[in-house]
Amino acid sequence: MTFKELNLLEPILNALDTQGYTQPTPIQEQAIPIVLAGKDIMGCAQTGTGKTAAFAIPILQRLENTKPTNGRRVIRTLIVTPTRELAIQIHESFKDYGQNLKQQSAVIFGGVSQHSQVNRLKAGIDILIATPGRLLDLIQQGFISLKTLEIFVLDEADRMLDMGFIHDVKKIIKIIPEKRQTLFFSATMPKEITSLANSILTNPSHVEVSPVSSTAETIQQEMYFVDTDQKKDLILHVLEEQNIETALVFTRTKHGADKLVKILLKNDIKAEAIHGNKSQNARQNALKNFKERISRVLVATDIAARGIDIDSLAYVINYDIPNIPETYVHRIGRTGRAGASGKSISFCNTEEKAYLKDIQKVIGMTVPVVSNHPFPSTGKIDEIEKRVFSRPKPTSQQRKKKTNS
């Protein structure tokens, strides 16, 4: 199927052609006709499936076909998303696909001055992309009215839950008009997310692609067993040996991300980190430098990286194995997007083997192990952890004695 067969407007088709897109991804093929028909959607899709275009393209067409008669610009579409990076990415997509239309969009998020965002709102917009906190702030200050809202998109709902935004989302839902079209997207569907979806959707069409338990077939996966203290040596070896031009590297903690950047810089590898402790400007600059290949390595934590869309990203490196199997799927999904090939390289120490076991159970495959490398695991455990692990478990008599004392 081609985009032309989806009965899209000529200006949108021309914009897609400019971007080099001719064939819709499975979620776009399913979702675009449903959104154009004005129906609600319950979409279960992870990042990298083309989800943003699946709602942005038909929203632009719907707004273009039903312009307000008075000619005044009012907010007709609201997209709420958990992170600033994802909000910016969605805004860029709307600008790309709508470049030949007269629809006006704006993006608002916290962590920066609201002055320029308020000025943009005052100028009049049709589409607003926002993170929950800043949206509620500006509504409370009287800078945003959602009375005219026609389409509401809740993106990355499960991440909203992870980041503690679910109460803000519920406040937003109480403010917006009951009569509206709602598009609901989530990579996973825990009970609270399913309950939220059921409460805000009306006879939704269900769209599901690339379930979270699957990893893209186009992604080549590799696993290196290595001791913790030699991971830094291994990453330098891998970057050199595999002639990696750019790589997105994941660490479990913010401190770990900063520490790794220092190691890479010390070895003349241009690297930057993005995580929650970085200012918005620092995060945007780091992402921009990586996209423009000024930086060779971008080191990220999971929350900071969710929703980041980097074209032609060939390598993802798991410096730390995530303790949640689904997180592994999300991480390596940064590469091998939209049919392109990609490679994920993971470093696993002794303590992380339990996480690996859970990951392999979820993805339904054993990740191939690279054993021929200079820093093979000796199976040793850091001294503190060794004492903890080797400490004998108390007997039932000892536990009982401790309780009584």
* Complete domains list, the chain, with CATH: 3-208 (3.40.50.300), 219-382 (3.40.50.300)
pLDDT of 75 > 90? The answer is: yes
C-alpha span between 343 and 245 (Å, rounded): 13
Quick: pLDDT tens for 142-163.
999 999 999 999 998 988 887 8
Q: Average of pLDDT values for 201-210?
A: 88
Encoded tokens for 343: 């490679």
Lookup: tokens for 71: 């000619």
What is the per-residue burial (b if ≥16 Cβ within 10 Å, else e) of 252-291? bebebbeebbebbeeeebebbbbbeebeeeebbbbbebbb
Which of 129-138, 153-162, 252-261: highest mean pLDDT? 129-138
Contact 156, 82 (CB under 8 A): yes
Mean pLDDT of 104-124: 93
Tokens read off for 252 = 């479990």
E-assigned strands of 81-194? 105-108, 127-130, 151-154, 181-186
Q: What is the dihedral of CA 25, 91, 188, 83, to 10 degrees?
A: 150
The DSSP string of 50-89 is SHHHHHHHHHHHHHHHS--TT------EEEE-S-HHHHHH
Q: Which of 209-213, 239-243, 302-306, 389-393 has the highest mean pLDDT?
A: 239-243
Tens digit of pLDDT for each residue in 11-69?
999 999 887 787 888 889 999 999 999 999 999 876 667 789 999 999 999 999 987 76
The region, left, alpha or beta by phi > 0 then psi within -120 to 50, assigned to residue 34 is alpha
Looking at 127-131, 168-172, 210-214, 338-342, which range is the least confident one? 210-214
Q: How confident is the model at residue 283 (pLDDT cuts 50, 70, 90)?
A: confident
Beta bridge partners of 346: 223, 318
- Global pTM value: 0.62
Spatial strand order of the sheet with 315-318 comes to: 219-225, 342-348, 315-318, 247-250, 297-300, 271-274
Cβ atoms of residues 273 and 258 within 8 Å? yes
User: What is the CB-side half-sphere exposure of residue 206 using CA atoms within 13 A?
Assistant: 5
Rounded CA separation 137/121 (Å): 14
Q: Kindly state the tokens that stand for 20.
A: 């080099």
**For residue 210, what pLDDT band results from cuts at 50, 70 and 90?**
low
Lowest mean pLDDT of 150-154, 183-187, 223-227, 278-282, name the range. Answer: 278-282
Give φ, ψ of 151 to 5 degrees: -130, 130
For residues 225 and 369, give the distance between their C-alpha atoms in angstroms, rounded to a whole number.
8
- Whether 233 has a pLDDT exceeding 80, the answer reads yes
Q: Are 232 and 260 in contact (CB under 8 A)?
A: yes
What Cα–Cα distance (Å) separates residue 81 from each residue in 154, 184, 339, 356?
Answer: 6, 11, 25, 30
